[in-house]
A and B are shown apart, each in its own frame.
Chain A
Amino acid sequence: SQTIHQWPATLVQPVGSPLSLECTVEGTSNPNLYWYRQAAGRGLQLLFYSVGIGQISSEVPQNLSASRPQDRQFILSSKKLLLSDSGFYLCAWSEGVDEKLFFGSGTQLSVL
């Protein structure tokens, strides 16, 4: 069966520090991968998605970047965090277009 791992669960970082959040999927090949952010107030904002290795699409221009160095690995990064980067970050995967979406357990990021 397929599983998705996301870590760390919580992270407190100072303003200006770098960021690296990692997500891996097991039990499937060539998944679509997604990074969402959920700020206080509920809505899920799509940040990046990827349909294959090295293929990254950005939905919102901002202080963050994403990479997909391996088929089932998706990394969210920042060189210098801003206060506004605080939020709940969720990684998700699906087997392709119009397929069910499955989420990781999320990372609560606090930038102080």
Chain B
Amino acid sequence: GIQVEQSPPDLILQEGANSTLRCNFSDSVNNLQWFHQNPWGQLINLFYIPSGTKQNGRLSATTVATERYSLLYISSSQTTDSGVYFCAVEAGGSYIPTFGRGTSLIVHP
């Protein structure tokens, strides 16, 4: 099956800092999604981004499908950005979203 690797595994920031999270995948994909899991366990879909760039407030994401990676940018981080960020991909013909192991982000005030 497809392999999904996320980096870095852990990230600690001071409030106001910027960061870039990376997701690499081993095969061509039909879609890629980014999620944020808050400290209470709720997973929120941030972006559906099989290719190109999208922005939503302080967050933006870019997927370069031909090079098999995606980046999630967080600008001017806030304490509420803390949690775990996952990317998930679906390979062609698959019904199965496969998740990376996530990046744990802690933003200190």
Same complex: yes
- Taking Cβ atoms with an 8 Å cutoff, the residues of A that contact B are 32, 34, 36, 42-44, 46, 49, 51, 57, 59, 88, 90, 92, 94, 97-103, 105-106, 108
Interface footprint category on B:
20 to 34
A43 in complex: contacting residue of B33, B35, B50, B102, CB < 8 Å: B102
CB pair B41 A108 closer than 8 Å: yes
Inter-chain contact total with CB atoms closer than 8 Å:
54
> What are 19 A-B residue pairs whose CB atoms fall within 8 Å in the complex?
A36-B99, A42-B84, A42-B101, A43-B99, A46-B97, A46-B98, A49-B95, A57-B95, A88-B41, A94-B97, A97-B30, A97-B95, A98-B50, A101-B33, A101-B45, A102-B45, A103-B35, A105-B41, A105-B42
Q: Write out the residue numbers on chain A whose beta carbons fall within 8 Å of the beta carbon of B62.
A: none
In the complex, the answer to whether B33 meets A103 with C-beta atoms within 8 Å is no
Interface centre among B30, B43, B90, B98 (most CB of A within 10 A): B43
Q: A100-B33, A100-B48 are in contact. Are A43 and B90 (CB under 8 A)?
A: no
Residue from A36, A57, A101, A108 with most neighbouring chain B CB atoms (10 Å): A101
Interface contact B102-A101, CB-CB below 8 Å: no
- Which of B86, B96, B97, B99 has the most CB atoms of chain A within a 10 A radius of its CB? B97
In Å, the complex CA distance between A101 and B31 comes to 11
